[in-house]
Amino acid sequence: MATHVGFSGLTRRQVVLSMAGVMLALFLASLQQTVLSTAMPQIVADLQGFDRYTWVTTAYLMTSTVVVPVVGRLTDLYGRKWFYVFGVAIFLIGSALGGFSQTMTQLIVARAVQGIGGGVLIANAFVVIGDLFPPAERGKYQGLLGATFGISSVIGPTLGGLVTDQLSWHWLFYLSIPLGIPVVALMVALFPDIRPVPGKHRIDYLGVAALVLAVVPLLLALSWAGVQYPWDSAQVIGSLVFSGLMTVLFLVIESRAEEPIIPLTIFRNWTVSVSILATFLTGFGMFGGIIFIPLFFQAVLGASATSSGSFLTPMMLGIVVGSIIAGQAISRWGGHYRLQALAGLTIMGVGIYLLSRMSVNTSYGQAIINIVLM
């Protein structure tokens, strides 16, 4: 396929089908973050691994977290098409491994492989808009990607519970394969192979290594603490200290690298820094809810996997509705994003506090109200 600089040389058919492939890929990656939530109690019961309950999610997040900034930078240097194809292929391999898993360890490894592919897809999904559309049109197409993420988040928990009850949790992985193969075909055949201006680039290998050594021990420590090891154990404290040292080393490396993986200059913008911090904090609540709310409904209130998924749906709908309201408010009444951010964090904090007070005596109605607030 001919290489074009920018989007001006692309046909409408190529743009539409490329966008469809991007949306399908994002749907797959985001769906796997929520579809397993309602199936996890059954998975743990089948594979006998409650002590590693959170690891099925942590493994995915750990590898995808490391991959996102690295691949994002590499695609800036070498183009996105073949990274996208590679990402979908790795994701499908991880899905197949997950479906075949017979032990918790096998499942955790499969999820780590999935996370590598998912990280590649998420890293490129929103950036690709800049390759396909001119600046004046990018906003509405980014909205389509946001809607895709929202839809997958809404249907994921219910779909996960339904498939688990009617078939088996193994099928949650198998279903990704027939959906992913057409995405690979679309990407190979139609996605534009747009590359930056040729030149000699230097990959920041030291930065990549330091980033991995900072993120992985941190997530290991937070997953071990209070479950497999006490908070004051040598394993937890040692991992946290090592992660801290590697973080400092990463900052030193990035400040001196010619082409850093994460340019530290972006953090000089106060708005960017505060926004990243707010996103980091809200991630605690969102992923914590996705992981543990279905367990509460099934193990404490005695709900089935399917019904626990329907109870998690209001939280996802709240995210979608809140995003729409916030976006419309900013567009109509100007840039009062600071007030909206403060209001959002406050409401979420109240919701999380109410969730922390739930017990076996909590009614379904009260639990749903707390979830919607959060």
**CB-based contacts of 122: which residues, under 8 Å, 6+ apart?**
26, 29, 30, 64, 68
**Residue 137: per-residue pLDDT:** 65
CA distance 176 to 93: 10
From first to last of its 374 residues, what are the pLDDT tens digits of the chain?
Answer: 444 444 446 677 777 777 787 888 888 877 777 777 777 777 777 877 666 667 777 788 788 878 887 787 777 777 777 888 888 899 899 989 988 888 888 888 899 898 888 888 877 777 777 777 776 666 566 667 767 777 777 777 778 778 877 878 888 888 888 888 888 887 787 777 666 656 666 777 888 888 888 888 887 888 777 777 888 888 889 999 999 999 999 899 888 888 787 888 888 888 888 888 888 888 777 777 777 777 787 778 777 666 666 676 777 777 777 777 776 676 666 656 777 778 888 888 898 899 888 888 888 788 888 888 88
Residue 242: per-residue pLDDT? 93
SS3 229: strand
Q: Sign of the C-alpha dihedral, residues 23, 25, 31, 33?
A: negative
**For residue 336, what pLDDT is reported?**
66
86 exposure class (CB count in 10 Å sphere: 0-12, 13-18, 19+): middle
**CB environment 178-217: b (16+ within 10 A), e (fewer):** eebeebbebbeebbbebeeeeeeeeebebbbebbbbbbbb
User: Residue 354: left if φ>0, alpha if ψ -120 to 50, beta else—which one?
Assistant: alpha
Which residue in this structure is represented by tokens 């999610």? Answer: 57
Q: Please give the Cα distance from 64 to 236 (Å, whole number).
A: 22
Helix (H, G, I), strand (E, B) or coil at 225: strand
Which pTM does this prediction carry? 0.71
C-alpha–C-alpha distance, residues 154 and 176, integer Å: 17
Q: How many CA atoms lie within 13 A of 283 on its CB side?
A: 10
